[in-house]
Amino acid sequence: MDAVRATYYIESSFPVKRCAEIIAMEESTGTWTEVHTTEGKDLDFVTAKVEDVDEIRGKAVIAYPVDLFEVRNIPQLLSVVAGNLFGLSDVANVRLLDLEFPNEFISQFRGPAFGIDGVRDYIGTKEDGRPHVGTIIKPKVGLNPEETAAVAYEAASGGIDLIKDDETLCDQRFCPMAERLPLVMDAIDRALSEVEERTLYAVNVTTGADEIAERADIAEENGANMLMIDVITAGFDALKVLRENCSLPIHVHRTMHGALTRNPAHGIAMDVFCRLTRLIGGDQLHVGTLTGKMEGEETNILHLDSILKEEWHGFKPVFPVSSGGLHPGCVEEEIGKRGMDLVLQAGGGVHGHPYGTKAGARAMRQAAEAMALGVGLEAHAAGAPELSRALETWGIGKIENYYR
């Protein structure tokens, strides 16, 4: 059967197999009672079937026939594989762990336009293969366009590869996108003439799918070199619109994911969002840190990295983004365990440097270069004053008791 296969974790007083059968029925052709409209009708072509059950681990695989889907419609896909099943009274907890797509589904999507190599080509790091370092404009909101550009200039002139808007900044009246974008790009151009290194600016174009193409066009007309989308709040269809209607790399933020992913027994695993992002065409995706302030288990984060980077239906690999509470002292563990193909996104860890934003950017770059050279942070800091001061301030490794 040509089908979308969904793997679930299930908790219930009923056997896992019985619960999986209930889910398959609810999400395809069944309902809670016999109905006359099915008499004499063969609905096998759209009936979901339980294919595999592991009663000990509480897992089941359900195959949903392709004919059940409007293949290019991601919202409709999610209404099936992640729909009413979460509210079924017979199921105490259920978690969508992963999805497997048939070729008919895969062939309808483009995947990333740039991927890791394409982004590296733009920055100029394909040869040395060093990790990329990024920052977020801080404070998160409240700066006007001129102030935003001034912060961007300091970061770019310090050697930052990627500057991004915060996920909460879009087109508010205190900082309209069409006003801040040209100023930020001018600031980046001024920095380029000084440091001779390109910087990407991921401008947040998040809005509804009906308006996002127009907003992306405005961004391109104003000189944007990267777009950003809050994919869960905007919807995966909005990401599809960007991928199919713009020529820029796309930075994907996962804000609100914790409402769906954090409970290990219920909701939707981040694995699913990684697969959908790569299928549809994001070039970078936030997947969490090993050392930062956001909740995340090491084995799982490394697994998410592998989903984004492994060979998968010929799609280009996606750049994993590590963000949330990072500073230069975190770089050694992040890169040591996750490899060089990683974007290290530091907000407070750049702008909170005692010597200012430019020094914070340099410290992050110096930490990344230490890893590319194969030397430790402390050894490299001996000849790198910005890194040395950062390590004195925050130490090496995770900071405990954030916000306390």
Answer yes or no: is pLDDT of 172 > 80.
yes
Query: In the numeric block, which tokens belong to residue 381?
Result: 């800091």
The average pLDDT across 8-20 equals 96
**Considering only 11-20, 35-44, 200-209, which range has the smallest mean pLDDT?**
35-44
Instruction: Quickly count helices (H) and strands (E) in the chain.
Output: 17, 13
The active-site residue out of 253, 286, 351, 353 is: 253
Residue 253 a catalytic site member: yes
Tell me: the pLDDT tens digits for 360-373?
Answer: 999 999 999 999 99
pLDDT confidence of residue 398 = 84
CB atoms within 10 A of CB 47: 18
pLDDT confidence of residue 36 = 59
pLDDT confidence of residue 86 = 95
pLDDT confidence of residue 404 = 55
Sign of the torsion angle spanned by Cα atoms 284, 285, 290, 291: positive
223 dihedral zone (left: phi>0; alpha: psi -120 to 50; beta): left
Tell me: the pLDDT tens digits for 229-274?
Answer: 999 999 999 999 999 999 999 999 999 999 999 999 999 999 999 9
CA distances from 303 to 117, 323, 330 (A): 21, 17, 19
Tell me: the pLDDT tens digits for 302-319?
Answer: 999 999 999 999 999 999
Tell me: the pLDDT tens digits for 331-360?
Answer: 999 999 999 999 999 999 999 999 999 999
Residues 250/243, Cβ–Cβ less than 8 Å? yes
Query: In the numeric block, which tokens belong to residue 196?
Result: 């001779």
**Considering only 194-198, 262-266, 279-283, which range has the smallest mean pLDDT?**
194-198
Strand positions, DSSP E, 205-299: 226-230, 250-253, 267-268, 284-286
SS3 at position 59: strand
pLDDT confidence of residue 44 = 86
pLDDT confidence of residue 38 = 61
Q: Model-level pTM?
A: 0.95
Mean pLDDT value across the chain: 94
CATH 3.20.20.110: does it fit domain 115-394? yes
59-65 and 3-11: which strand pairing?
antiparallel
Residues 62/51, Cβ–Cβ less than 8 Å? yes
pLDDT confidence of residue 209 = 85
pLDDT confidence of residue 78 = 97
Show me where the domains of the chain are located: 3-106, 115-394
Residues 134/161, Cβ–Cβ less than 8 Å? yes
The average pLDDT across 146-169 equals 97
CB atoms within 10 A of CB 290: 19
Architecture, CATH, for domain 3-106: 2-Layer Sandwich (3.30)
Q: What's the angle, vertex CA 237, arms to CA 48 and CA 205, rounded to 5?
A: 155
Tell me: the pLDDT tens digits for 198-211?
Answer: 999 999 999 988 89
Model confidence at 37, pLDDT cuts 50, 70, 90, reads low
Residue 313 a catalytic site member: no
Count Cβ neighbours within 10 Å for each residue of 255-276 and write b for 16 or more, e otherwise. bebeebbeeeebbbbbbbbbbb
pLDDT confidence of residue 341 = 97
